[in-house]
Structure 1
Amino acid sequence: MPTTKTLREGSAQKRAAILTAARELFLADGFDRSSVDAVAARAEVSKRTVYDYFGDKRTLLRAVVDSVGDALVTTVRRTLDETLTDRTEAAGLEDALVAFSMRIATEMLGSAEYTTLQRLLRSDSGHLAQQDYNPMADTPDEAIAERFAVFADAGLLDVPDPRLAADQFLALTFGVALDRLGSANAARDTRVRPLVVEGVRTFLRAYRAGRGTGGAA
C-alpha cells in the first residue's frame, strides 16, 4: 500500500531529478525490476531522500504517472485556448471543434508523453491499471466543460449541464475511435478523422443552440 508517512516537499530540483530517473528506469527495466537504490543512484541523491520525498516505490510510480499526465493536461488547455477561444458565431463552431479534436488526436495522443504514459500504465507489474488514470478525464473534462459554458453564455450551445456535455463530446469523438479502432491517434491512423468529424456533428445536432433539443437525451 502507498505510504501514509508525512513526506517532504524538499528541493524542486531533487524532486524533478528523482522523477526523471524513475521514469527512465521504469520504462527501461519495468517497475518490479527497478530498485529505489537504482533510482537514487541515477538521480544522484541518497536512498533516504527518495523515501523522504515519495515514501515508497509505488507512490513514486504514481508521481511519475501524474507528472506525465500533468504535461498532457497542459497540452489540452493550450489547445483549447488556441482553437476554442473568442468564438462568437455559430457558423465556425463545427470547424473549431474539429480543429481542437484533431490537434488533440495528433499532438497529444501522438506525443511521446502519451506513449510514455501508456507504457507505464501497461506495466506488467499491475501496480497501476489503465482505469486508474485517464489523461482525458477529470481536469481536461472540466476545462472543456468550462469552454462549453462560455459558448452557452454566448448563445452558441444549449448545455444545461456543461460537464455532461463535455463527457458526451469526448465519448462521441475519441471514445468512438478508441472503441472501433483501438486508438484515437490520428497521426498514425487516417481513419480517426472521419470518426472525429462525425462525432462533432452528432454533438452539435444535440447541443447547438436553437435546435430545440435542450441537450442530449
Structure 2
Amino acid sequence: MGTEGVDEYGIPVIADPVSSSAGKRRAIIEAARAEFLAEGYSAASMDSIASHAKVSKPTLYKHYGNKERLFLAVIGGTLKESYADLAAMPCTMADASDLALALRTFLTRWAHTLLGDDLLALRRLVIGEIDRFPQLGRLWYEITIDTLDRPLVGELEELHRRGLLRVPDPWRAVQQLVAMSVGSLQLIRTMRPDVKPDDQAIADNVAAAVETFLSHHRPT
C-alpha cells in the first residue's frame, strides 16, 4: 500500500512513487479529483476512478488502500496545492509607500483565488462532507490562518508599533478586514454558483473594505 500514516491534520501521507509508478499515481489523482468533485464522496465510484485512470482496481487499492484514504489524500492534497501560490506571495504592508494600494493589491489577489471556480467547487465538497471528514475542515482552517491571516497580523503589528495605524487587536482586525473584503462574495458564490462577480465588482468590494478599515484604524 502506498500510504504511510497521516499528517498532523489526519490526512493520509502518500509516499513518493518510484518512477515506474509516478504516471499511474498522477492518473489516479486526476481521475479521483474529477470524480469526487462531480459526484461527492458517497456517490463516487472506485470502478469509475480506476476506469478513467486506466488502472486496475487492485492497482488503485495498492496505492491508496480504500476509498476514504483516497478521498482524504486527493482532496487534502488539492487543497494544499490551491493555496501554494498564495503562500509564497509577499505581504509587505509595513514598508509600502501607499498602504491602501498595498492592501488592495494583496486582498484582490486573495479574493480572485477564493472566488475561483475550482476552489469554490472544492469548498462546497468539503462543506458537504465536513461531518464525515472533519480533518479536511481543520486543514482548510489552518491553511487559511497560515497563508492569509498570520502574514497580515504580522504587518499590522508592525504598523501599530510604528504608530502608523492603531491596531490593538490585530487578529480581530484581520478577521474583520477579510470578512469585509471577500466574505459576502464568497458566501454568494458558494451558495449560488450561477452568480459570478466580475473583476470590477471584486475590486470595488475590496476597495470599500480597505477604506473602511483604514478610516477606523488610522491614528486620530
State the AA in 1 paired with 2:119: Y
Q: 1:139 to 1:162 in 2, by over 3 A?
A: farther
Could you tell me which residue of structure 1 aligns to residue 95 of structure 2? Answer: 88
Could you tell me which residue of structure 1 aligns to residue 210 of structure 2? Answer: 200
The aligned runs of 1:50-65 (5 Å cut-off) are 50-65=60-75
The Cα shift of 1:92 comes to: 0.9
From the two aligned structures, give the one with the greater helix fraction.
2
State the AA in 1 paired with 2:45: S
8 Å CA contact 1:141–1:167 kept in 2: the answer is no
Q: 1:109 to 1:36 in 2, by over 3 A?
A: same
The aligned runs of 1:1-217 (5 Å cut-off) are 9-11=15-17, 13=22, 14-78=24-88, 80-81=89-90, 84-85=91-92, 87-89=94-96, 92-106=98-112, 108-118=113-123, 120-121=125-126, 132=137, 137-143=141-147, 144-153=149-158, 155=162, 156-178=164-186, 182-183=188-189, 188=198, 190-208=200-218, 210-211=219-220
Alignment RMSD: 3.9
8 Å CA contact 1:149–1:159 kept in 2: the answer is no
Deviates more, 1:165-174 or 1:40-49: 40-49
Cα distance per residue 1:134-185 (max 9 Å; x no partner): 95x4323333323431343252444455433332221121113345xx1399
Secondary structure class of the residue paired with 1:85: coil
Report the count of equivalent residues: 199
| Identity among equivalent pairs (%) | 27
Secondary structure class of the residue paired with 1:50: helix
> TM-score scaled by structure 1?
0.67
Instruction: Could you tell me which runs of 5 or more consecutive residues in structure 2 were left unpaired when the two chains were aligned.
Output: 7-11
The Cα shift of 1:128 comes to: 6.2
8 Å CA contact 1:25–1:39 kept in 2: the answer is yes
Structure 2: distance between partners of 1:163 and 1:51? 43
Cα distance per residue 1:112-152 (max 9 Å; x no partner): 5324414634769x9669x94795x4323333323431343
The Cα shift of 1:11 comes to: 1.0
8 Å CA contact 2:156–2:165 kept in 1: the answer is yes
The Cα shift of 1:27 comes to: 3.7
Cα distance per residue 1:67-111 (max 9 Å; x no partner): 222232123224x42xx337414x5111111112222223x1353
Structure 1: distance between partners of 2:50 and 2:77? 18
8 Å CA contact 1:186–1:193 kept in 2: the answer is no
> TM-score scaled by structure 2?
0.66
